[in-house]
Amino acid sequence: MKKIATVSLTLAMATTLAAGAAMAQAWPERPIRMVVGFGAGGGTDIIARIVAQPLSDILGQPVVVENKPGAGGTIGADFVAKAPKDGHTIFMMNNGHAVSATLYKSLPYDSEKSFAPVSLVATMPLVITANKDLAATDGKSLIALIKSQPGKIRFASVGVGSTQHFAGLVFRNMSGGEIRHIPYRGTPAAIAAVRGGEVELLFEVAAPVVGQIKGGELKALAVTSAKRFPALPDVPTVAEAGLKAYDVTTWYGLAFPAGTPEPIVAKMNAAIKTALGKPEVRKQVEEANFLPEISTAPAFTAHLGSEIKRWGKVMQDDGIQQQ
């Protein structure tokens, strides 16, 4: 059986376009592996698991989440980039993929050309949170505080070259206030440090800090997206604090390896649209503090390209070393 499948697969790859359409007819013929470049339990893993379930129902084949963590998600990306282009391997991409495009000196794949983006799935803003005793209540007073004590206010993030770190850098550059970066190993350590008063600020994606904010242990000063975040409706945006163009939103989207037949991409895009259209799926996504978001394949491709350019520029401007 296996041999037959292998042979037919090789043939299909050889006869390209015409066969591509035929493949799309039969697709999916086997379970689809959805690769996550991070460990189980993290944000990317959770959104993958939430969408994998309805996608399985819609496509009639199980969609199995596989974690391939390591090297900032690039090991998982590389695995997908080199997987057969038959639509049975898909990558849960996130903003880190765009960051790693310039962060690493050399990658075994091309961050844009090795992938066929299908659709965005969700977005999530970051939240600027502070120790509850900090003398600032919103973005405006924060900027004033930073400017009154140049170099004294420090912000924690989950590491150099993380989206969180970059959000802080962009904030610093746009506000013109001097804040220092202190990296931590993982979100829990960073939250503990801010709660204990070791550092003043924390730039972190929303999901892990919403509970801390609602419990009154961390103070939310601003959300980093252009619009307010429904889970924290009272927290103003950074843009409202005067930095009009400030918008850092982390995103999650699905991509096949490049060369996957167009009809399969279209079929998957439609399936994602149907899945996220279901009220119970939307509810689950929102309860986990994600914002459901769908897009066309070309729109996602363009988004990926612009994010790669944007973070590359931030890295260059701030002289962050390539790894």
Partner 1 sequence: MMQSLEFFISGLGIALQPENLLFCFLGALCGTLIGVLPGIGPVATIAMLLPVTFYLSPVAALIMLAGIYYGSQYGGSTTSILMKVPGESASVVTCLDGYQMAVRGRAGSALAIAALGSFFAGIVGTMLNVLFGPEFARIALAFGSTEYFGLMLLGLSISIAMSHGSMIGSIAMVCLGLILGGVGRDINTGYGRLTFDIPELSDGIGFVPLAVGLFGIAEVMRNLEGGEGAGNMIKAVGRLWPSRAEARRAAPAVLRGTILGTILGILPGGGSILAAFTSYGLEKRLSRRPEEFGHGAVEGLAGPESANNAAAQASFIPLLTLGIPPNAVLALLVGGMMIHGIAPGPTVMTERPDLFWGLIASMLLGNIMLVIINLPLVGIWVQFLKVPYRHMFPAIFLFCCIGVFGVNGSVFEVFLAVGFGLLGYVMSKLDLEPAPLVLGFVLGPLIEEHLRRALALSDGDLSVFATRPLAAILIGLALLIPCLVLLPHLGARRREIFQAEP
What's the closest the beta carbon of residue 292 comes to partner 1, in angstroms? 15
By C-alpha distance, which of 219, 229, 212, 232 is closest to 125?
Answer: 229
By the 10 Å C-beta count (0-12 exposed, 13-18 middle, 19+ buried), 172 is classed as middle
Cis peptide before 28 (omega within 30 of 0): yes
The token pair that represents 64 in the structure block = 């199995």
How far apart are alpha carbons 11 and 23 in whole angstroms?
Answer: 11
Pick between residue 192 and residue 299 the one whose CB is nearest to partner 1.
192
Helix axes 262-277, 297-317, angle to 10 degrees: 90
Torsion region of 149: left, alpha or beta (phi above 0 gives left; psi -120 to 50 gives alpha): beta
In order, the DSSP letters of 232-269 are STTSPBTGGGT-TT---EEEEEEEEETT--HHHHHHHH
What's the closest the beta carbon of residue 210 comes to partner 1, in angstroms? 5
> Is 150 a binder of partner 1 (CB under 8 A)?
no
Pick between residue 2 and residue 105 the one whose CB is nearest to partner 1.
105
> Is 302 a binder of partner 1 (CB under 8 A)?
no
- The helix (H) or strand (E) run that includes residue 75 is helix 74-81
Beta-carbon contacts of residue 139 (< 8 Å; ≥ 6 apart):
128, 221, 222, 236, 237, 238, 240, 241, 242, 243
Q: Which of 2, 3, 113, 185 binds partner 1 (CB under 8 A)?
A: 185
What's the closest the beta carbon of residue 213 comes to partner 1, in angstroms? 8
> Is 314 a binder of partner 1 (CB under 8 A)?
no
Q: Which of 208, 253, 257, 261 binds partner 1 (CB under 8 A)?
A: 208
286, 230 Cβ separation under 8 angstroms = yes
> Is 42 a binder of partner 1 (CB under 8 A)?
yes
> Is 211 a binder of partner 1 (CB under 8 A)?
yes
Subset of residues 20 to 39 that bind partner 1, contact rule: CB under 8 A? 39
Backbone angles phi, psi at 253, to 5 degrees: -155, 160
What's the closest the beta carbon of residue 225 comes to partner 1, in angstroms? 18
> Is 81 a binder of partner 1 (CB under 8 A)?
no
Q: Which of 172, 288, 312, 318 binds partner 1 (CB under 8 A)?
A: 288
CA 166-168-173 angle, to 5 degrees, is: 95
Pick between residue 23 and residue 59 the one whose CB is nearest to partner 1.
59
What's the closest the beta carbon of residue 296 comes to partner 1, in angstroms? 29
Subset of residues 188 to 207 that bind partner 1, contact rule: CB under 8 A? 188-189, 191-193, 195-196, 198-199, 207
> Is 312 a binder of partner 1 (CB under 8 A)?
no
How far apart are alpha carbons 270 and 268 in whole angstroms?
Answer: 5
What's the closest the beta carbon of residue 203 comes to partner 1, in angstroms? 16
Contact residues for partner 1, defined by CB under 8 A: 39-42, 45-46, 49-50, 52-53, 65, 67, 70-71, 75, 103, 108, 154, 159-161, 180, 182-186, 188-189, 191-193, 195-196, 198-199, 207-208, 210-217, 284, 287-289, 320-321, 323
